């Protein structure tokens, strides 16, 4: 039985690697400069900022990553995305701008996600204190209900991480297909023939968060004390 459980976990871990491999391949496949694309990812992001009168937002080059920092109001684009005149760079720039647009419009889901992130950050520290406190008190006083609290504190952060990753999914769908895709099509930065490539890249961007949610679920199941008790 233990062997079967381990086999399922290993298979699931390997399965989680497939989206990451496919995502990297898609990004690389369409990330080459083309003469018919009139601007780079950085230039397109700046174009969208000016067009939407969001002058408080900046676009800066980042060494490795693409993300929007809502506190600093900065869209960070990796070096190749920032400088390349490619389908991938235009698409990713539009996706990150869409997050800036969500923040600018005070999108309810965006605000809830940010609040949840802050809450989770501080809740981890509280859970650690309660975990060790109830664990020590449970052993010293011989009270099993205190040990149950420590187990609960061990599991709750994992559940919260899973909830956060699930909460990200509709937010990323909105950024990709309800915002970024129409922005690219209406801007005429890319020819109509590239529509299929744009959707493929946006789907890959969304898939990273699906993989993250599945990974958090696996981590929760694998590390849960309740799962260990059953074994």
- Residue 220: domain span: 34-230
Question: Does 8 reside within a domain?
Answer: no
Instruction: For tokens 């199941």, name the residue.
Output: 221
Question: Does 117 reside within a domain?
Answer: yes
Question: Does 188 reside within a domain?
Answer: yes
Question: Does 86 reside within a domain?
Answer: yes
pLDDT tens column, 123-147: 778 777 777 777 777 777 767 766 6
Burial class (CB within 10 angstroms; exposed 0-12, middle 13-18, buried 19+) of 34: middle
pLDDT confidence bin for 228, thresholds 50/70/90? very low
pLDDT tens column, 41-96: 999 999 999 999 999 999 999 988 999 999 999 999 999 999 999 999 999 999 99
Question: Does 124 reside within a domain?
Answer: yes
pTM exceeding 0.85: no
User: How many domains is the chain partitioned into structurally?
Assistant: 1
The DSSP line for 110-137 is: HHHHHHHHHHHHHHHHHHHHHHHHHHHH
Question: Does 22 reside within a domain?
Answer: no
Question: Does 85 reside within a domain?
Answer: yes
Question: Does 14 reside within a domain?
Answer: no
What the block records as the tokens of 184 is 């690219």
């Amino acid at each position: 039985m233990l062997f079967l459980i381990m086999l399922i976990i290993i298979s699931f871990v390997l399965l989680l690697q497939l989206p990451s491999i496919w995502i990297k391949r898609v990004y690389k496949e369409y990330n080459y400069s083309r003469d018919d694309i009139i601007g780079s990812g950085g230039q397109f992001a700046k174009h969208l900022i000016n067009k939407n009168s969001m002058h408080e937002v900046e676009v800066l080059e980042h060494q490795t990553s693409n993300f929007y920092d809502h506190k600093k109001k900065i869209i960070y684009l990796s070096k190749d995305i920032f400088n390349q005149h490619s389908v991938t760079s235009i698409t990713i720039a539009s996706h990150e701008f869409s997050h800036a647009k969500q923040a600018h419009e005070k999108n309810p889901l965006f605000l809830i996600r940010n609040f949840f992130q802050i809450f989770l950050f501080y809740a981890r520290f509280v859970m650690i204190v309660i975990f060790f406190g109830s664990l020590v008190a449970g052993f010293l006083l011989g009270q099993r209900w205190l040990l149950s609290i420590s187990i609960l504190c061990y599991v709750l952060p994992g559940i919260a991480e899973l909830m956060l990753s699930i909460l990200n999914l509709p937010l990323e769908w909105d950024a990709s297909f309800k915002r970024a895709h129409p922005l690219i099509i209406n801007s005429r930065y890319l020819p109509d023939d590239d529509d299929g490539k744009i959707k493929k890249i946006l789907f890959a961007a969304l898939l990273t968060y699906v993989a993250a949610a599945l990974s958090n679920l696996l981590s929760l199941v694998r590390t849960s004390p309740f799962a260990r008790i059953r074994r």
